[in-house]
Amino acid sequence: MLQRGDLVPHFTVNALHGEEFSYETIWQRRNLVLITLPPADSESARRYVSELAARGAEFRDGHADWVITQDRVQAIPSPAVLVADRWGEVVYIAATSEVRDLPQVEEVLEWLRYVETRCPECEGESK
C-alpha cells in the first residue's frame, strides 16, 4: 500500500460514471483526489458518492481532479481516499475495511486545501 511521501503510479481507470481517466493526463499539472470503492455496490458507497456530489462545487473550483472508481489501482486498497500533489506525491491516504469508515468529505477537502496552499520552500525542500 502507498504511504505518505510515495509517488502515485500511473494508472488508467473507468470512473464511476463511465468515463475513462488516465492519471498521465494530469500528472505535473493538477492535484489528484482518488477514491477507490469496492466493486460491489452498497448503500454506504451510494451515500458517500452523494455527499461528494453535494459538495461538488467546492472541489471543482480547485486545481485538482477528483476520480471515483471501482477499478483496482496498483498499490491502493479499496475502499480508500488518496490525495496527491501535482507531481504525484501522496500527501494523504486513508484505507478502511468499510466505505462507511472513509474520511468525511470535509476532511478530504481540508487535505486538498492544504495541498493547494502548501509552500515547498517552507517545508525545507528548497536548496
pLDDT digits (tens, 9 = 90+) for 48-92: 999 988 887 776 666 899 999 999 999 999 999 999 999 999 999
Domain residues for 106? Answer: 12-117
The whole-angstrom separation of Cα 81 and Cα 71 is 14
Is residue 47 included in any domain, yes or no? yes
Is the CB of residue 98 less than 8 Å from the CB of residue 14?
Answer: no
Would you state the pLDDT for residue 127?
Answer: 46
Is residue 122 included in any domain, yes or no? no
Beta strands 12-14 and 20-22 are: antiparallel
Would you state the pLDDT for residue 124?
Answer: 59
For residue 53, give the amino acid letter.
A
Is residue 22 included in any domain, yes or no? yes
Domain count across the chain = 1
Integer CA distances (angstroms), 59 to 33, 39, 114, in order: 10, 24, 13
CATH code of the domain covering residue 108: 3.40.30.10
Is residue 59 included in any domain, yes or no? yes
The whole-angstrom separation of Cα 55 and Cα 21 is 21
Residues 6+ apart with CB under 8 A from 56: none
Element (H, E) at 11: none
Can you give the pTM of this predicted structure? 0.90
Would you state the pLDDT for residue 34?
Answer: 97
Tell me: the pLDDT tens digits for 90-106? 999 999 999 999 999 99
For residue 103, give the amino acid letter.
P
